[in-house]
Homo-oligomer: A and B are copies of this chain.
Amino acid sequence: MTYVQFPQQKPIDFVAIGRLCIDLNANEFNRPMEETSTFTKYVGGSPANITIGMARLGKKTAFIGKIADDQMGRFIADYLRRDGIDTSNVVTDRTGAVTGLAFTEIKSPTDCSILMYRDNVADLKLKPGEVDEELIANAKMLLISGTALAQSPSREAVFQALHYAKRHGTVVAFDLDYRAYTWNSDEETAVYYNLAAEKCDIILGTREEFDMMEVFDRNPDRSDSVTANKWFDYSAKIVIIKHGKEGSIAYTRDGKRHRANSYPAKVIKTFGAGDSYASGFLYGVMQGWSLEDSMSFGSASACIVISSHSCSDAMPSADMVHDYIARCERGEITVS
């Protein structure tokens, strides 16, 4: 069954709005950052990673965002363009903002943390008047991401993008991507996440992220179905709630629950799992695959990313994902 209808006549497959930043990944693994001495620079930011993922999977993509007027900003725009992503709506800040940074620390494959630089960052300075209505009108899907809601004027830019998407029949996916940094309070977070989610067709998040959105609600048992049903009263068709190692569940308006296969991986770090899962899953949905197949494709894509050093650089092509699944099915990949 098809849960989401895409406007097939639109020329652009996928456009995302939000954070563009730099990941600085420690080259020395399995030790605290105090003891690492070199870092490698990658493009980062959840919506950027997902867009890169969609581009690698063969989709026609575009990005709406703001970059600093410095070497880091130019590096980001160049990288996106090399992947064939339309950057015509990637605006350059002129106020002296900087590029957001995420230093990653990999103490062990399961103990990873991030040191964020989010003060005065360019991505949060995107203004509603800078969002290109035409671009959204021409896209089958718009992806929004929670971090872009954290501050004005980026917050208003996202609501304006949502308004354009509704006006032009563009499907909206919302990757919750909650980061405590830059939000003033849980209450503020909940208010804007809820206002945005009301307008979205597909919502993806962890159980903890949905909990945060329910601080004013009544869901004491943290029930997934209570959570999902709330959004079916608004615009949602698919709500995916991620439960870490126990896997993800997709809820649909018809009351069904959908689960994916999971695959083994030789994990280097957990960063980027969510972004590669999202791009793989949304790709499957756009291809008209079943939710189960789409979720499995997302899972395999995530396995590829967490087995490598970077997030954006490691985003796989469709062939690579299919091949990974085939190798898993042949028993060639096992966790040591």
Contacts and interface: CB of A to CB of B under 8 A. Distances in A.
Interface string A7-21: 000000000000000
Given A152-B184, A153-B184, A70 B27 contact: no
29 contacts: A33-B72, A33-B75, A34-B71, A36-B41, A37-B41, A38-B38, A38-B40, A38-B41, A71-B103, A71-B105, A72-B103, A98-B117, A101-B117, A117-B117, A119-B119, A119-B120, A127-B185, A128-B187, A128-B190, A129-B187, A129-B216, A152-B188, A153-B187, A156-B187, A156-B191, A159-B191, A160-B187, A163-B194, A195-B195
Contacts of A78: 34
B156 A188 contact: yes
A71 B115 contact: yes
A32 interface: yes
Contacts of A36: 41
Interface in A17-48: 24, 27, 32-34, 36-41
A326 B70 CA distance: 43
A193 to B, nearest CB: 11
A85 to B, nearest CB: 17
Nearest to A113: B71
Interface centre among A133, A153, A191, A194 (most CB of B within 10 A): A191
A120 B121 CA distance: 12
Nearest to A77: B34
A74 interface: yes
Interface in A145-201: 152-153, 156, 159-160, 163, 184-185, 187-188, 190-192, 194-195
Interface in A121-153: 127-129, 133, 152-153
Interface residues of A, number: 45
Most buried by B among A33, A101, A194, A195: A195
Nearest to A128: B187
Nearest to A25: B38
B115 A72 contact: yes
B159 A195 contact: yes
Of A41, A101, A159, most buried by chain B (CB within 10 Å of CB) is A41
Contacts of A191: 128, 156, 159-160, 163
Given A119-B120, A187-B127, A37 B40 contact: yes
A234 to B, nearest CB: 11
A196 B159 CA distance: 12
A49 to B, nearest CB: 18
Contacts of A119: 98, 119-120
Given A39-B39, A153-B187, A216-B163, A74 B194 contact: no
Given A117-B117, A160-B191, A38 B33 contact: no
